C-alpha cells in the first residue's frame, strides 16, 4: 500500500521536473491481473463475443484496469495534491511491440528511423492530430482529396482544431497518471520519455500567447501548427519550437538541421506509477527489447474545475499550479527560492 500523499521530495520533483515517480504503487497481483487481461485481448481472434451474440467487454473499462487507479491508493494520492477527483471510468491502454527502426512516418512528419532518441517526438495531449492517417509519402504532397480528408474535425484522437469560444486550440486536463504493467527499468523497453522541466517554459509560452491576444495553442501566436518543412510536407508541431530550441543541451539534429531535444526516460518497474503534468511534453519510445511495453494511462481533472472549462481551461494553461492546492506550499517555497537566487545573481 502506498502512502496517501506525495512526500516533500516527490512534490519538489513534480514542481521542478514536471513529474513524480511512485515506486510500487500497484501490488503485483493487480499488475498480473491487468497484464493477463491485456495479453488475452491481444491474442483474441478478431471475431468478438459481441459479434457472436454475447456481451462485449472493453479492456480499458474493465474493473481490473480501472482498479489500478480507483482501488490502489493512487486516487487518494492524486486527491491530496489536486483535491477531489472522480473515479476513473476509462483508461488508455498503451501497448508497444518490439520493433526495428522503420520507414513509418510519425506525426512530426519524419521517418521513425530518422528520428533520434528511439523515435521520441514529444507532444502535449489534447491536440488535433489529423482526421486520417499521417501522410507517408516523402516524395510528393497529399492530393487535394487526401488533404481535405486529413484536415477535417475531429481528428483520430477525437480532438477539434479550435475552441474559439474559449480562446484556445488545445484540450487540457491536470495530471496524467501512468501505471507500468511491464518492466521498463532499462532503456529500450518503450520507456515513456519526458522533456524534463519544460512545463515551466510551456507555462510562460501560454502566458505570452495570452498577452499577445491568443488563442492559446497551435495556430496561436508563435506556434504554427503545420511544419511544411518536414519530410512529408505536413508534420505537426505538438509543442512550440520556442520551447524545443530552449532544450538544446544533449539534443541531436537531423540532416535538415531540425533539433530534437534529448528526453528523460522514465525507468519504471511493473507496478510503479508516475504523475505527469499536462504541460510536460512527453512521448513513448521504440521497444528494442524482446517484450512488449504495457502501460495504463489515466487522465485526471479535479472536480473543482469550473464546468464550462472542464475540457478546455485557458487559465490553468497559463497558471499550471492553479488546480493543485496540495502543492501550494512547495510551489511558494520553490518560487521564492528561485526568486532569491535570481536576485543574488543580479549585478
- According to DSSP, residue 141 is labeled P
What is the per-residue pLDDT for 52? 44
What is the per-residue pLDDT for 342? 59
What is the per-residue pLDDT for 234? 97
Contact 99, 302 (CB under 8 A): no
Extended strands (E) in 23-146: 92-96
What is the per-residue pLDDT for 161? 97
Residue 262 and residue 196: Cα distance in Å, rounded?
Answer: 9
Could you report the average pLDDT of every consecutive run of 10 residues in the chain (347 residues)? 88 98 97 94 59 55 96 97 97 96 98 98 98 96 97 96 97 98 98 98 98 98 98 98 98 97 98 98 97 97 97 98 98 85 58
CB neighbour class for 80 (10 Å; exposed up to 12, middle 13-18, buried from 19): middle
Contact 140, 166 (CB under 8 A): no
Cα Dmax for the chain: 76
What is the per-residue pLDDT for 58? 64
What is the per-residue pLDDT for 341? 60
Contacts for 216 with CB less than 8 Å, ≥ 6 apart: 167, 168, 169, 170, 206, 209, 210, 314, 317, 318
Nearest to 198 by CA among 16, 11, 22: 16
Amino acid at each position: 500500500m502506498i502512502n496517501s500523499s506525495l512526500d516533500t521530495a516527490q512534490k519538489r520533483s513534480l514542481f521542478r521536473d514536471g513529474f513524480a515517480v511512485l515506486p510500487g504503487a500497484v501490488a503485483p497481483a493487480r499488475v498480473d491481473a491487468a497484464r493477463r487481461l491485456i495479453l488475452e485481448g491481444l491474442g483474441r481472434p478478431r471475431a468478438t463475443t459481441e459479434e457472436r451474440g454475447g456481451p462485449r467487454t472493453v479492456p480499458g473499462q474493465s474493473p481490473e484496469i480501472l482498479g489500478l487507479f480507483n482501488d490502489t491508493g493512487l486516487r487518494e494520492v492524486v486527491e491530496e495534491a489536486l483535491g477531489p477527483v472522480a473515479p476513473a471510468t476509462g483508461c488508455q491502454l498503451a501497448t508497444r511491440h518490439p520493433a526495428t527502426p522503420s520507414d513509418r512516418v510519425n506525426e512530426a512528419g519524419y521517418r521513425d528511423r530518422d528520428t533520434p532518441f528511439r523515435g521520441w517526438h514529444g507532444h502535449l495531449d489534447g491536440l488535433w492530430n489529423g482526421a486520417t492517417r499521417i501522410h507517408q509519402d516523402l516524395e510528393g504532397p497529399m492530393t487535394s482529396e487526401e488533404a481535405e480528408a486529413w484536415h477535417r474535425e475531429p481528428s483520430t484522437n477525437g480532438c477539434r482544431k479550435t475552441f474559439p469560444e474559449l480562446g484556445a486550440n488545445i484540450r487540457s486536463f491536470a495530471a496524467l497518471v501512468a501505471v507500468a504493467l511491464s518492466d521498463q527499468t532499462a532503456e529500450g523497453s518503450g520507456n515513456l520519455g519526458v522533456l524534463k522541466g519544460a512545463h515551466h517554459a510551456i507555462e510562460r509560452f501560454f502566458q505570452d500567447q495570452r498577452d499577445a491576444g491568443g488563442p492559446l495553442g497551435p495556430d496561436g501566436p508563435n506556434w504554427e501548427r503545420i511544419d511544411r518543412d518536414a519530410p512529408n510536407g505536413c508534420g505537426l508541431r505538438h509543442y512550440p519550437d520556442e520551447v524545443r530550441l530552449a532544450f538544446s543541451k544533449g539534443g541531436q539534429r537531423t540532416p535538415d538541421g531540425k533539433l530534437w531535444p534529448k528526453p528523460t526516460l522514465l525507468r519504471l518497474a511493473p507496478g510503479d506509477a508516475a504523475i505527469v503534468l499536462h504541460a510536460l511534453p512527453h512521448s513513448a519510445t521504440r521497444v528494442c527489447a524482446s517484450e512488449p511495453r504495457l502501460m495504463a494511462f489515466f487522465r485526471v481533472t479535479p472536480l473543482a474545475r469550473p464546468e464550462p472549462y472542464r475540457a478546455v481551461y485557458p487559465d490553468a494553461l497559463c497558471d499550471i499550479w492553479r488546480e493543485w492546492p496540495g502543492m501550494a506550499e512547495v510551489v511558494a517555497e520553490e518560487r521564492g527560492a528561485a526568486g532569491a537566487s535570481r536576485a543574488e545573481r543580479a549585478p
